[in-house]
Structure 1
């Protein structure tokens, strides 16, 4: 490969990366049940602007049930269904009064359980999941009452 071709390819990669910067991140919003939808809208108003050092960014399509930080490094979807892989006997860790199920098949995906709405959080390897989940605990406990 010639040096000139390598430079052009490198420039093209940089331009593509920059084109993605600052744009809205595509996240499919859930379709929560009406009672969960109301709780999720309350949660949306309580979410932090910065999460584990990542700034809040726009998502597309716009939805009160989705929040994104760090250009997609952290995503939150409120009002998702109960995790299909979760069994009644599963032990789930509790972080600051919020129980989190971690799907063994998707290690970067956490779902809050035993609340008025399930909240799904995806955390990239650039962040510490425990920090993210701990930072989300206060808004979740304030907005989403516990259920049996």
Structure 2
């Protein structure tokens, strides 16, 4: 994991991709699967929930169902956060580390390392790296995701210590 951090502190391509990543208008009644991490990670996620912003990239907090301290949302399905997810397979993929996977890019935003994966054409999934818990943020098509990650970075840094998630 350390090589992930050192190789991908900030990648210009990542910043370019963030500027075109996005989100469409939100639907009411978002529903997401609640992660089931161990007790240590659950406590970190509860701490994160306490410091998450009320607004992210201009969207008001609108948590999905079922209600959980491990999930949060802004703007319906526009921005969905899940804390305590499992490590995404792409995080250890050598093609990503070498920059040869067009569907995944690693980089950092405001002191938080992320793996960005393209999902379903124009949706993106960001997963924290080099933190003691994996935090996933899904952003649907059409929105510049840079603002999302900038707005979430202070809470992630405050609640989820740097380290290696189990």
TM-score with structure 2 setting the length: 0.70
Q: Give the secondary-structure state (helix, strand or coil) at the position aligned to 2:90.
A: coil
Equivalence for 1:135: 151
Kept in 1, the 8 Å contact 2:83–2:133? The answer is yes
Alpha-carbon offset, residue 113 of structure 1: 1.1
CA distance in 1, matches of 2:31, 2:44: 23
Hey, what does 1:75 align to over in structure 2?
80
Moved over 3 A (4+): 104-107
Q: Which residue in the other structure is 2:63 paired with?
A: 58
The total of aligned residue pairs comes to 127
Structure label with greater radius of gyration? 1
Unaligned runs of 5+ in 2: 1-26, 98-104
- TM-score scaled by structure 1? 0.79
Please report how far the alpha carbon of residue 105 of structure 1 lies from its aligned counterpart in structure 2 after TM superposition.
5.2
Rounded to whole Å, the distance in 2 between the matches of 1:139 and 1:58 is 16
Displacement of 1:142: 0.3
For the aligned residues, what is the CA RMSD? 1.8
Post-superposition Cα deviations, 1:98-125, rounded to whole Å, max 9, x if no partner, equal 0000125565111011111100000122
Q: Is the 8 A contact 1:86 1:103 kept in 2?
A: no
Unaligned ranges ≥5, structure 1: 1-19
Structure-1 separation of matches of 2:119 and 2:81: 18
2:141 alignment counterpart: 125
Q: Aligned in 2, Cα 1:105/1:126: closer, same or farther, shift over 3 Å?
A: closer
Tell me if 1:25 matches 2:30: yes
Question: 1:48 aligns to what SS in structure 2?
Answer: coil
Q: Structure 1 residue 116 and structure 2 residue 121: aligned?
A: no
